[in-house]
Amino acid sequence: MASESPQQGGIRLKVRVNGEHHESVVDPRMNLADYLREELRLTATHVGCEHGVCGICNVLVDGQAVRSCLMLAVQVDGKEVRTVEGLAEGGKLHPIQEAFIEEHGLQCGFCTGGFMMALCELFDRNPSPSEAEIKEVVGGQICRCTGYNAILRSAQNAAAKMSASRS
Amino acid sequence: MKPAPFEYVAPSTISGVLEILGQNDPDEVKLMAGGQSLMPLLNMRLSRPALVIDLGKVADLDFIRETDEGVVIGAMTSKRAVEDSELILREHPLLWESTVAIGHPPIRNRGTVGGSMAQADPASEYPAVALVLGAELVAVSARGERTIPADDFFVTFLTTCLEPDEVLTEIRIPRLAPRSGWAFQEVARRHGDFAIVGATATLRLEAGVVVDPRIAVFGVADRALRFSAAESLLTGQAASDEMIDEVASQAAAAVEDPLEDAHASADYRRHLAGVLVGRVLREAAVRAAEASTGA
Amino acid sequence: MAIEIPKSLDQLPTTRPRYVGRGIRRVEDVGLLTGRVEFVDDVVLPRMLHCAILRSPLPHARITGVDTQAAEALEGVTAVVTGEDARRWSLPAQSSPEGWGTHCIAGDKVHYVGEPVAAVAASSRRVAEDALELIEVDYEPFEAVADPFEAMKPESPRVLDAQETNVMLDRVFTWGDVDGAFADAAHVFQEKFRWNRLGANPTETFGCISEWDPMSLDLTIHGSIQSPGMFGLGRAATFGLPSNKVNIISHPHGGSFGGKGGTRGCDISCLLSRKVGGRPVKWIEDRGEYLLSGGGQAWDRHYEVALALDAQGIVTGLKVGLVDDLGATGEAYGAISAAKPLAAFTGPYTIPVAQYDLKLVATNKLPCGPYRGMGPPPHFFVLEQMMDIAARSLGEDPAEFRRKNFIPADQFPYTIPSGNEYDSGNYGEVLDQVLALSDYSAMRAAQAEARAEGRLVGVGVASAIEPGVFDWNAYAIVGMPGTGVPEGATVNIDILGNATVRVGFSLEGQGQYTLITQLVADYFGYEPEDVRVVQLDTQSAPPSFGPGGSRLGVAITGAVLGACERIREKMARVVAVLMQSEAENIEFMDGKFMLKGAPGAEMTVAEVAGTMLARSDLLPPDIDPRPEATHVWTAAGRTPADEQGRAKSYLTAAHAVHIVQVEIDAETGMVEIQRYCLADDCGTRLNPDTVEGQTEGSVVQGIGAALLEEYVYDEGAQPLTTSFMDYLMPTVFDAPKIEMVAVVTPSPFTPLGAKGCGEGAIHTTPAAVMCAINDALAPLGTSAREVPASPMRLWKLISEARNRASDESNDD
Ligand SMILES: Cc1cc2nc3c(=O)[nH]c(=O)nc-3n(C[C@H](O)[C@H](O)[C@H](O)COP(=O)(O)OP(=O)(O)OC[C@H]3O[C@@H](n4cnc5c(N)ncnc54)[C@H](O)[C@@H]3O)c2cc1C
């Protein structure tokens, strides 16, 4: 627990990640991306720039997409984190993952997790987003392979899949 | 790209924050709000505090409230909360519009209103908006609370008038006068980037002439600038194309030492300031005219 | 026994290909989307240390002292290396041209900002970076040179002490009677252009884990490595090791585009590993390091170009003068990018004679490396601007002007003046298709209306060649020796009939494992699930170059089909024995071996494989009982370069025409791409989804090149674009909707008739966007000659043109 007075060395942290409870002692300067990757060995969160521009390291914290390179691990104390590892459930791909396969929405796949997590938040807030709303979310990130056309198609396909499964 | 070591604390009250500030050399301490400016600086070791005080757990800094005078926004309110606020959309569409021009959704999820004010990036949207809306910023320290008009708050590059032991707690934004027109525009290399130059304005039209125009630009100089001379020039005049052009070129000429970087020369910035001031004045005048006929 | 590799889809042993020629679910995707694919930074090895590198803040300075004591004393630090260690255990990097390499850590002198001066191995990257701050380096600064024209002057500071000059190469290549063509020309046009340095910037930077045992000297490197085989040979040369001592394990990686580079950092991690007794040392280049000093900064070019035309408007000669600023050394093979244009020097046109006045110059900037396209994209940018300048001056429509200069469809194979042979093409058809797709005349009509309103709307038409399937001979002029780039595959059928294909390259994004799956599935009558592709390290893999030079799709198709053919042959012999016949009587179709004229006498591939593996006693004694074969494919008919650099080099020539509509905001200089249409012909499309994906991605990289991307250095050679806030890559808001149509003219020379298409649209896009911008600017009497066309540059051109116009009208 982050305390009321400054702490030397490690800080104790309790967090749920993809539904699993974790307790760790971390160096305050360790960012969330490094915590997930190094401490929890959840390496699906990739790191692209470490200064917040590329969006590849997006994860959900309490349902909101954030850059995990711009958050300290200690700041997720008491929170719920979701990463790419938490997308597929029960041996089944998430509809967003299915959509990216169907629309050829990835090539090297390094950045894709960041897009999927940001889209996850979007679809939670807004099950049937317009193209402009999708663009606003996709536009926060860099993909060097696809030229984005296929990512937009994937996002639209995913939205359609998710609203079909809701109704 | 990893931060230098620091100690960390996340107090749950403002008094806790002030107490820790009092116990430490303020130059060695950094307050962290959303971290969307501070974390990159820490990662690049351009900022290397011995102690980070996280404001994230401080109670009562995250709110948007309507008051008799307008709205009050807690310093730790995220940009996303501003964007999602019906109240802001209705009362301060200008603030809303400038909010969605800041970065990208995940940045706005974390980045706070107070953080942007305190960061005082010359290319940032909020300081200019605070200037035209006549906002006041409230800061507390062990010495008490003070209220600072936006006009006095932003000093120069990444520098405000806050003392090292002061914490920004809220931003008060007076209600726009009825039938005001407003506009906000920016030129950025890419959508969501910090602007090369941006401009914003509010004004009213009464009996065919401009009343109480407020014009500000950002990205042009070491801080957001308000153009009082240009505002006076426009006051009491018809919002004609010629008049607006004259005001815009006056405003552009009034910029001392425009910024220069890899993307834009000083000349280009000055030129854009003129173009955008012209554009926001036209747009604001149209809105004001609509508001007057609508009323 | 010579192996016949099918030259077209109908030569595959299947009634109808079910997978090749169409898009299928990529076999790569599930692992990538769930995060189970292991990128190199995901790897943790026992006792692993982490490396961080201290880099020079100065572009040119003498190092007078390096004090590492405090760093060594920091808790968690295991070792520090400096230039001394580099000189003890390694050689200067190989380079092109030769003799322009330096050690991986600077010795006496630093040559560019970002050059390594020391490095640390520590318990974590955080601690390693803490230690860097404790290393003290004393510098005696020298004057730096950032401008190649300054660098060429005799009085300029010299970049490398070991060289007498900063000019790495200065030669004029002449192909045909160029002087005659210009003397006889009815029209000559001449212009200067500037292409600013840009770069690959894959989303994953370079990374590696090196283990160099100081006793056995065995060196193992895990890394995100584009060409593991070449990379291993390079390390062997740098460390003076026998090549069989080096094993490279390449991991799937987050793109490369030529920009993985990373050799210096990798070599440094090797030195650290040796110093710490062979423990694994991980170095993950961070984005700051990448932008400052990573791989794939490319094409820092100054052009002067001339075009000769006859009275009919046919281009009769081309002269290209290029001053190519390669940065401080030749270690990253940036010079290859200056040589590659020889493979398509005159583009899609019949230009009969040409000249290349080439100067490669060293400056105190980061050494240039490869980037997608490897040099032709700027070349086609200048060529296509010249074509427009000529068309505009002659009052001709740019599309029709190009058409009349196109190589006619009946003239293939066609040898261009710079020596390469184009395999096939139908350029007029490609143009027709994109004209129809874009509704070109309607676009022009809309443009005329917009112009009448005073808006700056422009339409660009550009055409270019994508040389595919590279060979080293293309780069002979910058000192690359030899020909032949092998790609191998081993296909194995197991006892239940399932196929495993082993290759030597890792996933990079282009979907080659899917392509392999499609090929094997169609060849053996299998489903994709029956095929698995695995990657081997360099000590076990068949010979492999991997992706690069728009080559792998074609090459791996040759390798896989070759291996399949070999298995078929072997199996046919087995079946013949089992059916008591001769191999000639055994036919193979849709996954079944059949005895001719004996209906019902047939065996499936699985049955044959099962028999081979379980019952070797039934097989002829001279047959290898494994249902496995390896085939190594290389392009046939490549010729050594002559003294003017002429060679049959790149095997295929894909072609495209792009039509783009832009509007420029005259007040701000901002460009909006309003339509993007293209037609391209890359021969048989083995997987159209993949081709389209490569094309879309490449268009957007091309837009980045035309409008956004630039590594800026100041006059003192300090880099100014060292974060993603400053190096601007396109986002979705910069990516137009891309409309495309395909023309298919199979290559007569390649497996299944496919052409290289991986580098793709970047050959054409920057040219097309710039043509559109210049079309928009034409009414103002100005034009953009510098890439990227940033809003500031365009605003300057526009306002200067307007000022000139108002001065003139004032004069009247
Ligand atoms: C990719 C990207 C794009 C961006 N684009 C834009 C953009 O277009 N426009 C724009 O304006 N911004 C942009 N930003 C910056 C972003 O808006 C930041 O969130 C904002 O500048 C700072 O807010 P923060 O809450 O994150 O503050 P922090 O980063 O936590 O703090 C910033 C500074 O303010 C101080 N501070 C914070 N809160 C207080 C307080 N209550 N009292 C006293 N001092 C305080 C801190 O000590 C620190 O020095 C971008 C950021 C990124 C990463």
> Each residue of C52-101: pLDDT tens digit?
999 999 999 999 999 999 999 999 999 999 999 999 999 999 999 999 99
Question: What is the least distance, in Å, from the CA of A137 to any CA of chain C?
Answer: 10
Two structure tokens written together for B282: 């036209």
Q: Does C690 sit within 8 Å of A146, measured CB to CB?
A: no
Minimum CA–CA partner of B273 in chain C: C668
Q: From chain B, pick out residues whose CB is under 8 angstroms from the CB of C734.
A: 190
Residues C657 and C519 occupy one common structural domain: no
Q: What is the CATH number of the domain that holds B77?
A: 3.30.465.10
Q: From chain C, pick out residues whose CB is under 8 angstroms from the CB of A38.
A: 124
Residue C242 lies inside a defined structural domain of this protein: no
Residue B2 lies inside a defined structural domain of this protein: no
Q: From chain A, pick out residues whose CB is under 8 angstroms from the CB of B110.
A: 66-67, 70-71
**Nearest 10 degrees: Cα torsion C399, C400, C402, C407:** 130
Residue B187 lies inside a defined structural domain of this protein: yes
Question: Per the structure, how many domains does chain B have?
Answer: 3
Angle between helices C440-452 and C427-438 (to 10 degrees): 50
- Cα–Cα distance for residue pair C136/C63, rounded to 1 Å: 11
Of A29, A64, A71, the CB nearest to B3: A29
Residues C698 and C756 occupy one common structural domain: yes
Residues C680 and C792 occupy one common structural domain: yes
- Establish whether residue B75 lines the binding site of ligand 1, counting it when its CB lies within 6 angstroms of any ligand atom: yes
**Nearest 10 degrees: Cα torsion B43, A119, A22, C36:** -90
Q: B: neighbours with 3+ CB pairs under 8 Å? A: A, C
Question: What is the least distance, in Å, from the CA of C126 to any CA of chain B?
Answer: 6
Q: What is the CATH number of the domain that holds C797?
A: 3.30.365.10
Of A4, A65, A139, the CB nearest to B9: A4
B44 touches chain C (CB under 8 A): yes
| Cis peptide bond N-terminal to C413, omega within 30 | yes
Residues C519 and C604 occupy one common structural domain: yes
Q: Does A50 sit within 8 Å of B1, measured CB to CB?
A: yes
A118 touches chain B (CB under 8 A): yes
Residue C126 lies inside a defined structural domain of this protein: no
Q: Which atom of ligand 1 is nearest to the CA of B139?
A: 42
Residue B78 lies inside a defined structural domain of this protein: yes
Residues C752 and C785 occupy one common structural domain: yes
pLDDT digits (tens, 9 = 90+) for B98-128: 999 999 999 999 999 999 999 999 999 999 9
Which residues are CB-contacts of B50 (< 8 A; sequence separation ≥ 6)? B6, B7, B24, B25, B28, B29
What is the mean predicted confidence (pLDDT) over B58-81?
Answer: 97
pTM given for the model: 0.97
Residues C811 and C697 occupy one common structural domain: yes
Residue B194 lies inside a defined structural domain of this protein: yes
Beginning with the edge strand found earlier in the chain, give each strand of the sheet holding C456-468 in spatial order: C456-468, C652-664, C671-681, C738-742
- Cα–Cα distance for residue pair C243/B222, rounded to 1 Å: 57
Domain ranges of chain A: 3-86, 95-166
- Cβ distance C117 to C57 under 8 Å? no
pLDDT band at A166 (very low <50, low <70, confident <90, very high): confident
- Cα–Cα distance for residue pair C160/C330, rounded to 1 Å: 11
Residues C607 and C753 occupy one common structural domain: no
Range of the domain at B28: 7-54
Q: Determine the pLDDT at residue A136.
A: 97
Residue C620 lies inside a defined structural domain of this protein: yes
Minimum CA–CA partner of B35 in chain A: A70
Q: From chain A, pick out residues whose CB is under 8 angstroms from the CB of C689.
A: 104
Strand pairing category for C602-604 and C592-595: antiparallel
- Cβ distance C632 to C491 under 8 Å? no
Which residues are CB-contacts of C775 (< 8 A; sequence separation ≥ 6)? C388, C398, C447, C458, C459, C460
Residues B17 and B65 occupy one common structural domain: no
Question: What is the least distance, in Å, from the CA of B288 to any CA of chain C?
Answer: 25
Q: Determine the pLDDT at residue A1.
A: 44
Range of the domain at C513: 9-37+486-633
- Which ranges of chain C have pLDDT less than 70? 1, 811-812
pLDDT band at A3 (very low <50, low <70, confident <90, very high): low
Q: Determine the pLDDT at residue A2.
A: 47
Residues B102 and B46 occupy one common structural domain: no
> What is chain C's alpha carbon radius of gyration, rounded to the nearest angstrom?
28
> What region, left, alpha or beta, does residue C561 occupy, with left being phi > 0 and alpha being psi -120 to 50 degrees?
alpha
Give yes or no for residue B292 having a pLDDT over 70: yes
Which residues are CB-contacts of C685 (< 8 A; sequence separation ≥ 6)? C21, C691, C742, C744, C754
Strand pairing category for C167-175 and C246-250: unpaired
pLDDT digits (tens, 9 = 90+) for B231-248: 999 999 999 999 999 999
Residue B242 lies inside a defined structural domain of this protein: yes
Q: A: neighbours with 3+ CB pairs under 8 Å? A: B, C
Q: From chain C, pick out residues whose CB is under 8 angstroms from the CB of B2.
A: 125-126, 129
* SS3 label, residue C482: coil
φ, ψ for residue C553, nearest 5 deg: -60, -45
Of A53, A56, A66, the one to substitute when testing ligand 1's pocket (max ligand atoms within 8 A of C-beta) is A53
- Cα–Cα distance for residue pair C582/C140, rounded to 1 Å: 80
Q: Which atom of ligand 1 is nearest to the CA of A51?
A: 53
Of C288, C790, C799, the CB nearest to B44: C288
Residues C629 and C728 occupy one common structural domain: no
Options 1.10.540.10, 3.40.50.450, 1.10.150.120, 2.130.10.10; CATH for A95-166 is 1.10.150.120
The DSSP bridge partners found for residue C595 are C586
- Cα–Cα distance for residue pair C364/C137, rounded to 1 Å: 19
Residues C449 and C571 occupy one common structural domain: no
Angle between helices C688-703 and C765-777 (to 10 degrees): 50
Residue C780 lies inside a defined structural domain of this protein: yes
The DSSP bridge partners found for residue C628 are C492
CA A32–ligand 1 middle distance (angstroms): 18
Helices (H), chain A: 32-34, 95-102, 112-125, 131-138, 149-166
Residue B14 lies inside a defined structural domain of this protein: yes
Residues B48 and B141 occupy one common structural domain: no
Residues B100 and B152 occupy one common structural domain: yes
> What region, left, alpha or beta, does residue C251 occupy, with left being phi > 0 and alpha being psi -120 to 50 degrees?
beta
Two structure tokens written together for C455: 């808006």
CATH architecture of A3-86: Roll (3.10)
Residue C49 lies inside a defined structural domain of this protein: no
Of C725, C729, C731, the one to substitute when testing ligand 1's pocket (max ligand atoms within 8 A of C-beta) is C725
CA B130–ligand 1 middle distance (angstroms): 15
Question: Per the structure, how many domains does chain C have?
Answer: 2
Two structure tokens written together for C179: 């002087």
Q: Determine the pLDDT at residue A4.
A: 65
Of B8, B44, B57, the CB nearest to A28: B8
CA B218–ligand 1 middle distance (angstroms): 16
Question: What is the least distance, in Å, from the CA of A43 to any CA of chain B?
Answer: 18
Q: Which atom of ligand 1 is nearest to the CA of A67?
A: 53
Q: How far is CA C174 from the centre of its chain?
A: 26
CA B112–ligand 1 middle distance (angstroms): 7
